Amino acid sequence: MTDISVSEWPTHVRVAVIGTGFGGLCAGVRLAAAGISDFVLLERADSVGGTWRDNTYPGCACDVPSHLYSFSFARNPDWSHSFSRQPEIRAYLEGVTDQYRLREHIRFGAEVTEARWDGEANCWQLDTPRGPLRADVVISACGPLADPALPDIPGLGQFAGPVFHSARWDHGYAMAGKRIAVIGTGASAIQIVPEVQRQAERLVLFQRTPPWVMPRLDRKFTRAEKWLHHHVPASQRLARFGTYAVRETYVPAFTKKPEILQGAQRVALRHMARAISDPNLRAKLTPNYVLGCKRVLLSNDYYPALAQPNVHVVASGLARVEGNTLIAQDGSAHEVDAIVLATGFHTVDMPIAERVFGADGLSLAETWGGDMQALRGTTVAGFPNLCLVVGPNTGLGHTSMIHIIESQVAYIVDYLRTLDQAAAGALDARPEAQQRWCADIERRMEPTVWATGGCKSWYLNDAGRNPTLWPGTTIRFRRNTRRVDAREYRRIQAGPGKRGAPIELRPATPINTMRIPTTDGVVLHGEIHGRLDGPTVVLVHGWTNSTAVWGPVIRALGDEVRIVAYDQRGHGGSVDARWDRYSITSLVDDLEAVLAATVPEGEKAILVGHSMGGMTIMAAGQRPGVVERTAGALLVSTGYGDLVATARIIPGRSRRLATVLQRQILRSAAPMGPATRVSRAALRYGTMGPDASHDVAVATAQLVHACGRRTRGTWGRVLDKLEVGDALAGLDVPVHVLVGTNDRLTPPAHAERMAQRLPQCTGVTELPGVGHMTPLEAPETVADLTLKVVAESRTVTPGAVTSGAVTSGAVTSGAVTSGAVTSGAVTSGAVTSEAVTSEAVTSEAVL
């Protein structure tokens, strides 16, 4: 496998992602979270951001509300306005790149000039200015707004002054005192026009088709709102969900009953009338097609700008240019000093399609013949192992494209998983599956406003077909892309050197098992794995699990370290607990006994705790017998529960009530009763991320059900007794915190708060899409971070940690700053499993 942890040019990678806009970055984050570290992001420019890097024109902003226009896994409580400006969005994307450690995967100046499928080797051969590269899978995330569409207007090339596209703004050109022509009245133009009107002596606007313009309900977020979003993240989630839900209700009007849009048209006309008193100008600006047929625009300053005396609207296209004079199609002539082309992008022809050559040697553009088609907007028959982000029929007019991007990327991650599970070299979309998908879209497209609204928009291709938009809700799209249906793909046999073998989920076999007596007579079950002379890592499992939960992590750690895993009292092989002594103190007693029995004299161990195991470690920070044998810790999916945190901000009696309620909920939810559909769904919702595989779900259910009922029921009591603040303050060794963004039991906000209270926090790693069952869902990341903590803990006896022990594998370079939120981009391999049988888990884990 190629090591791409340093910035050299790799020769062969598992996945090559083209582009670093929203789509490419999302792919990078999700690949890393899925345990795939062997990938590169190829970027033609010298910084990330895609269209939000390229579009720097004055007034550039987003017309989708800020809370919705961000990744679900990286919400931003600091947005300044309800509609974000371009610099802020660009900075956000730079921040996501850093936060999720994507820079080490990015190769700038690497424009893909050709991608050709090599059927012999079952991989893609890519050409770039930085050199060739082979990739098993290519994810094209070039985006539809990447390549400006320049109009073919006679004489334009001979125009004496500056001519620039809205996406290539010439910031060196001063508009003051100049006559400027703006061509186009789309989403870009209506933001540019008010700015140019303010600066230029005269503005001539060439309008071929008037847009429908609605008021933009923009405002600054108050400090109180930002504070709330910071400290009660659920408030921002709620705001996001509210905006999302409201926008989803627009869909039927666009897709089924355009007549509903008449009300919106009246609002738009009133909006125009308020700003423009001249009836002739109003007539020019009034659209003659149904609102929604073209993209609905939002602006409060477009119409007021057009009403200014230095603006002239030419209600006609631009026919030709003669010297400095622009001749409109209506014959009028207008002399100007500069031309701004706000004429849009190559949206229906996807320029990268001319550079991608599939199994039969034809380019994607030739295969499509001007009519883009794909299976689930993502894969194309005849182009094995090629995935498109924002592919055909994925565009939206009513809400955030980031929702679609996240759906597609989840589908692509499942595609990679399917590839591994099928032990295939490649998957190729079946033409009949693609046709079925496209025929359904075609059928649903018929009654939409885009087809019936009476306009010619950039949504349509020359054949009059709409290959760009998704005719439905984003909920439907997400449902349709939740999982790869293997029946829709043809499997191509793996060639030699195939990578990405699945990770097995069965418990690891110890090289030694032991019985460890504790102070109150309980005998604990312990296991030793790994390299006997390596530094010691002690794994402390969570409240519902036994040693078995660590199986994938133990395998991922391999022979790097000496691994001690033990069943906490009441679990697995340590079931003979005394219930009256089941408390946080007794769990710390047990950890102390384990360290005394397993850590060699004069050495110190790294403690890795999951969930309640992490809380055991926290509490042990004040126990001398543990502290003197501890060099560092990794707290995985640890915290004190959403409801407890909620209880803490509730005053007095209500707070007590909330705590009691929380304990009751935990008690009743924990035993799960028989494995009914409801209990399984509840378990899944509470503990697993959306991408957790079937095997992770099965293993989790078995671990939960195998755990004693009383053990589960007492967890709330244990939780109550732990003074979290004190415990964290006492844990005075280097500690790294790891959490999944979909962890509902111990969500990221708690991890961050914990990190702030730890005396020596080396960083917080957030794993997008991962739930509470981190050791099962992302074992490679847990293993990598464990090795990182081993490397950072300088107090381990010299000789115990050798450089070889920590550099092979995937320890990332550079120390993580305290309190910084970093990412799980350090993983490798994929979390998949072929076989988790109930016997495998129950016999070894529980008995």
Q: Taking the complex as a whole, how short is the minimal distance between the CB of residue 730 and ligand NAP, in angstroms? A: 49
295 binds ligand NAP (CB under 6 A): yes
Which residue, 358 or 392, is less far from ligand NAP as judged by CB? Answer: 392
Contact residue for ligand NAP among 206, 221, 254, 715 (CB under 6 A): 206
User: Which of 205, 318, 761, 831 forms a contact with ligand NAP (CB under 6 A)?
Assistant: 318
CA dihedral (581, 585, 591, 592) positive or negative: negative
What does residue 763 show for φ and ψ, rounded to 5 degrees?
A: 145, 165
In angstroms, the CA 719 to CA 716 distance is 5
| Contact call for residues 94 and 22 (beta carbons, < 8 A) | no
In 643-768, the DSSP E strands lie at: 735-740, 761-767
| Distance between CA atoms of residues 85 and 87, nearest Å | 6
Question: Considering only residues 326-345, where is the footprint of ligand NAP by CB under 6 A?
Answer: 342-345
What span, in angstroms and rounded, lies between the C-alpha atoms of 25 and 139?
11
DSSP-based three-state secondary structure for 432? helix
- Taking the C-alpha atoms of residue 571 and residue 147, their distance in angstroms, rounded to an integer, is 59
Residues in contact with ligand NAP, shown as a per-residue x/- string from 417 to 456 under the rule CB under 6 A: ----------------------------------------
User: What is the distance between the alpha carbons of residues 721 and 196, in angstroms, rounded to a whole number?
Assistant: 64
166: contact with ligand NAP by CB under 6 A: yes
Is residue 741 at the binding interface for ligand NAP, with CB under 6 A as the rule?
no
Cβ distance to ligand NAP smaller for residue 295 or 569: 295
Closer by beta carbon to ligand NAP, 153 or else 591: 153
Tokens of 509: 């076999």
Find the shortest distance in angstroms from Cβ 153 to ligand NAP. 6
Amino acid letter at 566? Y
133 binds ligand NAP (CB under 6 A): no
461 binds ligand NAP (CB under 6 A): no
Q: Locate tokens 């499942």: which residue?
A: 414
> CA quadruple 712, 639, 26, 503: dihedral positive or negative?
negative
Cβ 842 to ligand NAP shortest distance, Å:
53
Q: Which of 2, 82, 209, 585 binds ligand NAP (CB under 6 A)?
A: 209
Q: Which helix (H) or strand (E) holds 527?
A: strand 523-530
Structure tokens at 319: 């026919």
Q: How far apart are CA 268 and CA 294, in angstroms?
A: 14
Q: What CA–CA distances, in Å, run from 767 to 158, 794, 829?
A: 54, 26, 15
Least distance (Å) between residue 57 CB and ligand NAP: 9
Under rule CB under 6 A, residue 71 binds ligand NAP: no
Judged by CB under 6 A, does residue 458 bind ligand NAP? Answer: yes
**Residue numbers 168-187 binding ligand NAP by CB under 6 A:** 183-187
DSSP category for residue 534: S
Per rule CB under 6 A, is residue 208 in the interface with ligand NAP? yes
Quick note: the x/- pattern for ligand NAP over 534-573, rule CB under 6 A, is ----------------------------------------
Decide if residue 296 touches ligand NAP (CB under 6 A): no
CB of 334 to ligand NAP, least distance (A): 13
Q: Judged by CB, which is closer to ligand NAP: 315, or 731?
A: 315
Closest CB to ligand NAP among 316 and 324? 316
Residue 778 · residue 532 · CB < 8 Å: no
Query: By beta-carbon distance, which residue lies closest to ligand NAP?
Result: 186
CB 199 within 8 A of CB 206: no
Tokens of 78: 């600091």
Tell me which residue has tokens 């384990």.
594
Output the CA torsion sign for 126, 131, 136, 137.
negative
Asked if 818 and 762 touch (Cβ cutoff 8 Å), the reply is yes
Cβ-proximal residues to 207 (8 Å cutoff; 6+ apart), any chain: 184, 185, 284, 285, 313, 314, 315, 316
List of residues 6+ apart from 432 with CB closer than 8 A:
none
247 binds ligand NAP (CB under 6 A): no
- The nearer residue to ligand NAP, 40 or 190, going by C-beta atoms, is 190
Answer yes or no: are the C-beta atoms of 772 and 703 closer than 8 Å: no
CB closer to ligand NAP, 81 vs 531: 81
Asked if 84 touches ligand NAP (CB under 6 A), the answer is no
Cα-based distances in Å from 639 to 670, 723, 746 = 17, 12, 5
CA distance 193 to 562: 66
Q: Look at residues 48, 61, 50 and name the one whose alpha carbon lies nearest to residue 87.
A: 61
632 within 8 A of 733, measured Cβ to Cβ: yes
CA count, 13 A, side-chain hemisphere, 245 = 6
DSSP E strands: which ranges in 624-701?
630-636
Which residue from 161, 215, 304, 317 is in contact with ligand NAP, where contact means CB under 6 A? 317
Q: Does 194 bind ligand NAP (CB under 6 A)?
A: no
Alpha-carbon span 76 to 821, nearest angstrom: 13
Q: Does residue 588 belong to the site contacting ligand NAP (CB under 6 A)?
A: no
User: Could you say whether residue 151 binds ligand NAP (CB under 6 A)?
Assistant: yes
Q: Does 145 bind ligand NAP (CB under 6 A)?
A: yes
Shortest separation between residue 404's beta carbon and ligand NAP, angstroms? 13
836, amino acid identity: V
| Shortest CB 387 distance to ligand NAP, Å | 22
Number of chain positions touching ligand NAP (CB under 6 A): 26
Least CB distance to ligand NAP at residue 54 (A):
11
* Binding status of residue 63 toward ligand NAP by CB under 6 A: yes
Strand ranges (DSSP E) for 500-657?
512-517, 523-530, 536-540, 562-566, 605-610, 630-636
Q: Which is nearer to ligand NAP, 255 or 379 (CB)?
A: 255
User: Min. distance of Cβ 218 from ligand NAP in angstroms?
Assistant: 11
Q: Of 57-65, 276-284, 590-598, 707-715, which segment contacts ligand NAP by CB under 6 A?
A: 57-65
Minimum CB distance to ligand NAP smaller for 306 or for 381: 306
Say if strands 424-429 and 735-740 run parallel, antiparallel, or are unpaired.
unpaired
* Part of the chain binding ligand NAP (CB under 6 A), chosen from 204-212, 633-641, 687-695, 698-706: 204-212
Report the residue number, 277 or 288, with the smaller CB distance to ligand NAP.
Answer: 288
Name the CA radius of gyration of the chain, rounded.
30
Residues in the chain: 847
Instruction: For ligand NAP, give the closer residue by CB, 166 or 828.
Output: 166
Report in angstroms how near the CB of residue 459 gets to ligand NAP at its nearest. Answer: 9
Closest CB 174 distance from ligand NAP, rounded Å: 23
Q: Is the CB of 143 or the CB of 609 nearer to ligand NAP?
A: 143
Query: Is residue 189 a contact residue for ligand NAP (CB under 6 A)?
Result: yes
Contact pick of 25, 42, 62, 305 for ligand NAP (by CB under 6 A)? 62
**Between residues 168 and 436, which has the closer beta carbon with respect to ligand NAP?**
168
By CB under 6 A, the residues from 344 to 363 that bind ligand NAP are: 344-345
Report in angstroms how near the CB of residue 66 gets to ligand NAP at its nearest.
Answer: 11
Residues forming the site for ligand NAP (CB under 6 A)? 61-64, 145, 151, 153, 166, 183-189, 206, 208-209, 295, 317-318, 342-345, 458
